Structures are given as C-alpha cells and as structure tokens.
Amino acid sequence: TTPLLEVEDLRVEFRTGDGVASVLNGVSYHVMAGETLAVLGESGSGKSVTAQTIMGILDMPPAVILGGEVRFHGEELLKAKPSRRMEVRGDGIAMIFQDALSALNPVFTVGFQIEEQLKVRRGMGKAEARKRAIELLDLVKIPNAKGRVRNYPHEFSGGMRQRAMIAMSLALDPELLIADEPTTALDVTVQAQIMDLLREIQRERDMGLILITHDLGVVAEVADRIAVMYAGRIVEQADVFSLFRNPAHPYTEALLQSLPRLDLKGQELKAIKGLPPSLANIPSGCPFHPRCPRAVDRCKQEVPDYHQLGGGRYSACHFAEELITHG
C-alpha cells in the first residue's frame, strides 16, 4: 500500500546575511494511514522545518528548498501549483502548533474561526457551519460547546485553547495531522489529557499522525515508529519497541539515558553532554562525533551511511550493527 505521506531526501538551507545554515540534510520518512510517527530531537534538529516544508508554509526567503520530494498519496507536492497546495492544506494535511494562542486569531471567536473554514472550503451556510463547529468542540471534549463556541481564544484556558485548535484542525477531516510539540506549553496533567484526546481521535478516524516532540515520555506511549533527528538528519528510525529496548545509535542511547524514569512525563532531553551543533558549521564526518561517547578517529572523517537493520529500521552510525548486537 502507498503511504499516506512520504518525505524523501529533503534538503533545505537558510540563507541570511550571516551565511548559510544547512537545516535539512536529506530527511526521509513516511507515515501510513492510522499510524503515529514520532519525530524526536532537540530544538534546532529540523523537526519543525520538515513539517513546515510538508505544509508548504516555510518562510522564504531565507529558506531555500534544495531538493527532495513530499508525496501525499503518491502525489508530489513541492512542485504542485499553489492552489493545489492550498487544497491539500486542511483537507488532506492539517497541522497544530505548540502555541495555540498565536495560532488562533485573538479578534475572532473560536466558533467563527472554525465556521469560516467550513463556509469557504465546504460551502456551508451559517447555521450548518455553526452546528458543525459545536459538534467539533464537543468532539474535543470542550464542556458546554454550545456556549463556548461564542468565546474568544483568551477566554479559554491553555488546555482548552489547545483543544479548540485541534477542533479547528479537524474541521475539514484531514487524513494526516501534524502536531508540533502540541503539549509542551501545558502542565503535565493537561498534557496527558491532550495526548489521550489526539490518540482517541486518530484511532476513530484512522488518521495518520506525525507527532513532533522532544519528550521521550510522550513518544513511548503514543508512537508506533520513531524517527530521531540530529543536525538536520534522521540518525535512527525504528519501531518504538525496538528503539527503547535496543537503540541502534549512540544519540538515541544518550536520549534514553537522559530519561531515568520513562513514566515521568515532560522531561526535557537536556542531560546530554554538550550542545547541538550550529547548522552553519556542522562537524565533519559524523555530526554527532563531538558529543558521542563511542566516537573513534574514523567518525571525524567519514559520514556514516544508513545501515539497514531489518524491518525498516535503520541507523546512521558506523557501529549500528554492533550496537544492536552487543548493546
């Protein structure tokens, strides 16, 4: 079966007066219908830029797409007409963001913002759109949806705003939802509720879900597969079970070690020694070598290939095979 979405060898640069930053250096992943792919990495690893490229909302300039493909149901989108991209947005692929407050327009009611999409894109009349907006707010478990539909974003709590944004993203029944750090700004209890909600909606609709996060705890519970990003590359891709049991890349290993308790949510991936590299000056050889406890001389010179490890799993480390054999 054709994946819902395939990203292949995506390469993006940011060009500014200060120079060139290689933000995506050949990113490939795919998502099937009904599947959750978690994209995990520290900030600046390219998780969000990949999502923005998929959505066609990358700011440019300074962003320059050097190459690669984004295929939705096999249809290439990067070279598609702007009108076609617009059609796919919302209808085919929708996105929710970390910060609902800036994603929602403060001067319009939440109901209006949902209804507007339904009027413009579905040709609904006022009454029908209102009815549907209330159903959507109900679906995301906003209490008293009938009354709440008339509220402005600032009248909602953080968690409720996030729910409202999810409702808005579902208005056109997308087949794929991209959630970029959807719970980062929320407290732990609300985070869990929002993740449960996303998972429930995804299952009911057999929707594909790309969950962008730096939170390993969230990933363990929700994802089917994980793509670990570092310096604009995917360094390991595996099913959740294999990755947690037996990481095939030292960066993944370090992430797992930085999380002493997997039941503890909201942990940041900060216990790893050193900082992510500047994308304007990516280290030679393996980009992880300055921080890698397993690095040898060879790592400074040779960029590791993708080692295929079976079952679609791969790792960009010279020692991938040894790692999964000996741990």
Residues making contact with ligand SF4 (CB under 6 A): 249-250, 286, 288-289, 292, 294-295, 299, 304, 317-319
C-alpha span between 220 and 236 (Å, rounded): 15
Q: Are strands 233-239 and 313-315 parallel, antiparallel or unpaired?
A: antiparallel
Nearer to Mg ion, 48 or 242 (CB): 48
User: Which of Mg ion, ligand SF4, none does residue 71 bind to, with CB < 5 to 8 Å depending on kind?
Assistant: none
Residue type, 107: V
- Residue number, 46 or 182, with CB nearest to ligand SF4: 46
Separation CA 57–CA 178 (nearest Å) = 13
- Of residues 226 and 286, the one with the C-beta less far from ligand SF4: 286
**103/238 with CB nearer ligand SF4:** 238
Cα separation, 252 vs 286, whole angstroms: 14
Q: Which residues of 152-188 are buried (b: 16+ CB within 10 A; e: fewer)?
A: bbeebebbbbbbbbbbbbbbbebbbbbbbbbbbbbee
Span of 45-53, 201-209, 217-225, 287-295 interacting with Mg ion by CB under 5 A: 45-53
* Least separation in angstroms between CB 250 and ligand SF4: 4
48 binds, among ligand SF4, Mg ion, none (CB under 5 to 8 A by kind): Mg ion
- Give the angle 263-217-226 at the CA atoms, nearest 5°: 140
Find residue 310's DSSP bridge partners. 313
Contact letters for Mg ion, residues 258-277 (x by CB under 5 A): --------------------
Q: How far is the CB of 180 from Mg ion (least distance, A)?
A: 6
User: Out of ligand SF4, Mg ion, none, which partner does residue 77 contact, by CB within 5 to 8 A per kind?
Assistant: none
Give how far the C-alpha of residue 54 lies from the chain's centroid of Cα atoms, to the nearest Å: 10
Shortest distance (Å) from residue 227 CB to Mg ion: 14
CB of 322 to ligand SF4, least distance (A): 9
**Contact indicator for 272, 230 with CB cutoff of 8 Å:** no
Selection from 20, 29, 92 nearest residue 55 by Cα: 92
Q: Give the shortest CB-299-to-ligand SF4 separation in angstroms.
A: 3
User: Site for Mg ion (CB under 5 A): how many residues?
Assistant: 1
234-265 in b/e form (b: 16+ CB < 10 A) is bbbbbebebbbebbbbbbbbbbbeebeeeeeb
Query: What is the maximal distance between C-alpha atoms in the chain?
Result: 68
Q: Which is nearer to ligand SF4, 214 or 233 (CB)?
A: 233
| Residue with Cβ nearer Mg ion (48 or 117) | 48
Contacts of 255 (CB under 8 A, 6+ apart): 40, 216, 228, 247, 269, 272
Closest distance of CB 276 from Mg ion, Å = 12
Measured from the CB of residue 253, what is the shortest distance to ligand SF4 in angstroms? 9
149/113 Cα distance (integer angstroms): 10
Stretch that binds Mg ion, among 44-52, 72-80, 89-97, 224-232 (CB under 5 A): 44-52
Task: By CB under 5 A, name the one of 22, 48, 113, 117 that touches Mg ion.
Answer: 48
Smallest gap from Cβ 13 to Mg ion, in A, equals: 18
In the complex, which residue's CB is closest to Mg ion? 48
Q: Decide whether 100 or 317 has the Cβ nearer to ligand SF4.
A: 317
Closer by beta carbon to Mg ion, 51 or else 195: 51
Ramachandran category for residue 19: left, alpha or beta (phi over 0 → left; psi -120 to 50 → alpha): left
Give the interface with Mg ion as residue ranges (CB under 5 A).
48
